[in-house]
Amino acid sequence: MTEPLINTPITHTSMNGASTKDSPLLLDIENLSVTFGQGVRAFRAVDDVSLKITQGEVIAVVGESGSGKSVTMMALMGLLPPSATVRAQRVVFDNKDMLSMSAKERRGIIGKDISMIFQNAMSCLNPSFTVEMQLGEVLRKHLGLRGAAVQTRILELLELVEMPDAKNRLKVYPHQLSGGMSQRVMIAMAIACEPKLLIADEPTTALDVTVQAQIMDLLSRLQREKQMAMVLITHDLGLVAQNSRDVAVMYAGQVVETSTVPEIFQKPAHPYTEALLQAIPELAIGQDRLNSLPGVVPSQYDRPSGCLLSPRCPYKESACEVPPPILDTPTGKVRCIDSNITSHPSHAATLESQI
């Protein structure tokens, strides 16, 4: 199940990028773009995304629905359909240049050293196979296990993901599992090969609130115990605060800010990050209503030529009509005309007047 469905090739956009000198880094993605379709109908779903992930750390990728979080990770996994064109300047994983390696070499990494938990576990499990068969396939294929070793490891994995009554779940089919149990099976499959990087794509979105907390606790425990790096994709800033160290905020296919927790909560540098924070109910206690940005994420047909947030941004200036620079901040980078725009007193007043 973790095998790429379609192994979309990634094309170099530059010959300069593929250095392996950043050894503490586990994954270094530079300027990754994904375009769906061709010609006038071409739609750039991911635009120049750069992400760095160090070994054993958790990075959260946040942004509202449609901001390109899943497509970025699916591009890395080679899971996009043939209508997608993926380009990147650099994709180095574990000191290996993924752009120059053969499809066979990539298949050896994907599903083994990098694995992914998908948004909707129920629909990702094969309905015709039992839990035992689905887990067994991963163990046979990637680890070459056979016979009794497969059985032993399956049970070990189910116990590791705290599957209730694990022994009696081996022969059951996905439709006999609850949402939380399905997610536990997905997690067991994803960690079966002890990956160096686990991508958890909205791992709790489809679950009840109480089960959400259990699954997040489980993922966080496994991440620490196994020293796995993890990309936690979420639109829930509460999960970010509890579970990650680094944060990348995406808007309309672009990373607009990278920072760390708690800095991003105390001092967001990008107006979009600030707006996301102002929309968290827990942080808005005492306010009559939640603040939100006017308007919607630009579609394929109404993308502004400059800053993509500018039609909705309370800080908009004439300089925003051209693509903004990427500036350094004390804890990361921001894609804006000013690295400190949300802290200017005059701008705070502007925001107040718009609310």
By a kind-dependent CB cut-off of 5 to 8 A, residue 81 interacts, out of Mg ion, ligand ADP, none, with ligand ADP
Cα separation, 265 vs 152, in Å, equals 44
Q: Which one of 68, 174, 203, 324 is in contact with ligand ADP (CB under 6 A)?
A: 68
Specify the stretch interacting with ligand ADP by CB under 6 A; choose among 62-70, 91-99, 204-212, 277-285: 62-70
Closest CB 235 distance from Mg ion, rounded Å? 8
Phi and psi for 199 in degrees, rounded to 5?
-100, 115
Q: 287 to 326, contacts with ligand ADP by CB under 6 A? A: none
Three-state secondary structure call for residue 83: coil
Residue 167 — φ and ψ, nearest 5°? -55, -35
CB 83 within 8 A of CB 36: yes
Q: Among 60-68, 110-118, 222-230, 259-267, which window interacts with ligand ADP (CB under 6 A)?
A: 60-68
**Kind of pairing between the strands at 90-93 and 25-36:** antiparallel
Residue ranges in 69-98 that form contacts with Mg ion under rule CB under 5 A? 70
- Structure tokens, 59: 């990075």
List the end-to-end C-alpha distance of the chain, in Å, as a whole number.
47
CB of 312 to ligand ADP, least distance (A): 17
φ/ψ of 201, rounded to 5, equals -90, 105
Binding of residue 273 to Mg ion (CB under 5 A)? no
195 lies in the site for ligand ADP, by CB under 6 A? no
Considering the complex, what minimum distance in angstroms separates the CB of residue 343 from ligand ADP?
27
Instruction: Return the residue of 44, 69, 106, 184 that touches ligand ADP, per CB under 6 A.
Output: 69
**CA distances for 198 relative to 49, 161, 174, 229, angstroms:** 19, 15, 22, 6
User: What residues between 76 and 95 interact with ligand ADP by CB under 6 A?
Assistant: 81, 83
262 contacts ligand ADP (rule: CB under 6 A)? no
CA distance 35 to 76: 14
Residues 138 and 1: beta-carbon distance below 8 Å: yes
Interface residues for ligand ADP in 197-216 (CB under 6 A)? none
Using CB under 6 A as the binding rule, whether residue 71 contacts ligand ADP is answered as yes
Please identify the residue of the shown chain whose CB is closest to the bound Mg ion: 70
List of residues contacting ligand ADP (CB under 6 A): 36, 45, 63, 65-71, 81, 83
